[in-house]
Amino acid sequence: MSLDPVLARIDADLPAATERLLDLLRIPSISTDPAYKEHCDAAADWLVADLESIGLAASKRPTPGHPMVVAHGEGDGPHVLFYGHYDVQPVDPLDLWDRDPFDPQIEDTAKGKVIRGRGSSDDKGQLMTFVEACRAWKAVHGTLPAKISIFFEGEEESGSPSLVPFMQDNAEELTADVALICDTGLYGDSTPAIITQLRGLLGEEITITGPSLDLHSGMYGGIAMNPARVLAKIIASLHDDQGRITVPDFYDGVPELSNELAASWDDLKFDHENFLGEVGLSIPAGEVGRRPLEMIWSRPTCEVNGMISGYTGDGFKTVLPSKASAKISFRLVGTQDPLAIRDNFRAMVRSLVPDDCTVEFSDHGASAAGQMSTENPAFAKASAALSDEWPNAAAYVGCGGSIPIAGHFKTVLDMDAMLIGFGKDDDAIHSPNEKYDLSSFHKGIRSWARILAALSKD
């Protein structure tokens, strides 16, 4: 089946495709807030109807939380499974939005036209690039270039509590030759990227309790242990002067960057000064002697995400607090074991807590890092297809974030996954005024059409 008329159809249908996306963006499918449950159902229904309109067998599947959407389309060639999520983040703080986040519009900016609205980039705009590519193939040829299954989740932004059980219960139906995930972005503005490694994530919250109530710092200061002081010591001890993390055995399973991958990343000419300059910084703060891209993509981290203790209101209150707490996250790489790190971290913290203070721990998830093997021929085919569409050749890159679904495809369904997305760093996902470049939407559709054509060839 010829690709050129499919690409021409995509170009001609872009206005209609954009209107379809705007319709989906108008549905406030915020998964974490129970007040929006009916809207999440509505988004799932919208997707089922749209997929059925292009001839796919689609259905809404119940879960203990928000529903899944599963669809299947027949075609020759390999079987591919495409994953996306239709739920979105909350919009707070609403007063920082320039417009109603669920009244999406096309806006002109200095860099070109953008689609403005919650979910435009994460992940409704991205998932619709694939749907529109399938629509074009069906319109031109009456069939798809491969056997395609589609799997849309409604709880990604709220921790995916129903995801793994659903995958386990429907493993035979969902298993394909390769999984495709469109929840990532370009490298820069014009280099398509295939993510081959993802960092894992471990979240820990610690609460130090000292005196049974807040104390007058004049009466008790000096003789009574201050939990804020204990917490500060713990946090200060987590890194040494070289930026290395001091949790015992923390670096077990951390691989060194291969010479081949190091050279490939060096070719990307990452400008760390510009990257940090955009947020008012300039000096890399990770491990001494490491490349900036290593720090983001292939080295583990330990970061303090928040601290609370004592009086934090206006003015001043001379109090010695009863409690001090911190939220601490670890990004993991290679074969680091998140549960072993949790045990070692907690043992280290306990060793730094004085006898007349106590510590409590709360866990906030633990997932291992993901590594995708590029030996699967699908990676080379997708890379070539992307390189044909974009100004620059496709690059294999790492990702500093954590996308657990990629690991679940491997551990639950024994499938390799390719993470290919078209978002940009300035899309403001999870933030006010989220946007998705119209060019990303357009070229994303064309990219998936090319990838499907490439995968269908022997």
Report pLDDT for 400.
84
Report the pLDDT value the prediction gives residue 314, as an integer from 0 to 100: 95
Cβ distance 136 to 144 under 8 Å? no
Strands in 342-383 per DSSP E = 358-367, 370-371
**Per-residue confidence at 407, pLDDT binned at 50, 70, 90?**
confident
Average pLDDT, the chain: 96
226 token code pair: 């201050």
Which residue, chain included where needed, has tokens 């209150």?
317
Per-residue pLDDT of 120-178, as tens digits, reads: 999 999 999 999 999 999 999 999 999 999 999 999 999 899 999 999 999 999 999 99
Q: How many residues does the chain have?
A: 458
> How far from chain centre, in Å, is Cα 143?
32
Provide the token pair at 406. Answer: 């990629």
Structure letter (DSSP) for residue 13 = T
Q: What is the pLDDT of residue 194?
A: 96
How far is Cα 296 from Cα 278, in angstroms, rounded to an integer?
Answer: 16
What is the distance between the alpha carbons of residues 158 and 26, in angstroms, rounded to a whole number? Answer: 20
Count of beta carbons in the 10 Å neighbourhood of residue 355: 6
pLDDT one-digit tens code per residue, 229-266: 999 999 999 999 999 999 999 999 999 998 988 998 99
For the four alpha carbons of 36, 37, 40 and 46, in that order, the dihedral sign comes to negative
Q: What is the dihedral of CA 131, 136, 142, 146, to 10 degrees?
A: -60
Q: Looking at 26-162, list the stretches that DSSP marks H as alpha helix, in order from N- to C-terminal side.
A: 37-53, 124-141
| Cα R_g (the chain), whole angstroms | 24
pLDDT at 457: 87
Q: Inform me whether the pLDDT recorded for 195 exceeds 90.
A: yes
169 contacts 369 by C-beta, under 8 angstroms: no
pLDDT of residue 371: 83
Beta carbons of 400 and 198 less than 8 angstroms apart? no
User: Model-level pTM?
Assistant: 0.85
Taking the C-alpha atoms of residue 407 and residue 368, their distance in angstroms, rounded to an integer, is 8
20: pLDDT strictly greater than 90: yes
Which tokens belong to 322? 């009863």
Q: Which residue has the tokens 């989220």?
A: 434
Identical fold, 4-198+370-455 and 200-254+300-367: no
Q: Summarize pLDDT for 296-349 with one digit per residue, the tens.
A: 999 999 999 999 999 999 999 999 999 999 999 999 999 999 999 999 999 999
pLDDT the model gives residue 394:
96
pLDDT at 403: 85
Distance CA 327, CA 303 (A): 9
pLDDT higher for 188 or 352? 352
* Statement: 200-254+300-367 belongs to CATH 3.30.420.40: no
Q: Up-side HSE of residue 156: CA atoms within 13 Å toward CB?
A: 26
Query: What is 4-198+370-455's CATH superfamily?
Result: Zn peptidases (3.40.630.10)
Domain ranges of the chain: 4-198+370-455, 200-254+300-367
- Spell out the SS3 assignment of 403-414: CHHHHHHHHHHC
Cis peptide before 87 (omega within 30 of 0): no
Burial bucket for residue 331 (CB in 10 Å: 0-12, 13-18, 19+):
buried
What pLDDT was estimated at residue 372? 85
Pair of tokens at residue 279: 């947020």
Can you tell me the distance from the alpha carbon of 292 to that of 298, in angstroms, rounded to the nearest whole number?
Answer: 10
Q: Please choose, from the candidates 435, 227, 254, the residue with its C-alpha nearest in 3D space to the C-alpha of residue 337.
A: 254
Q: Helix H segments across 26-146?
A: 37-53, 124-141
End-to-end alpha-carbon separation of the chain, Å? 13
Tokens of 339: 């549960």
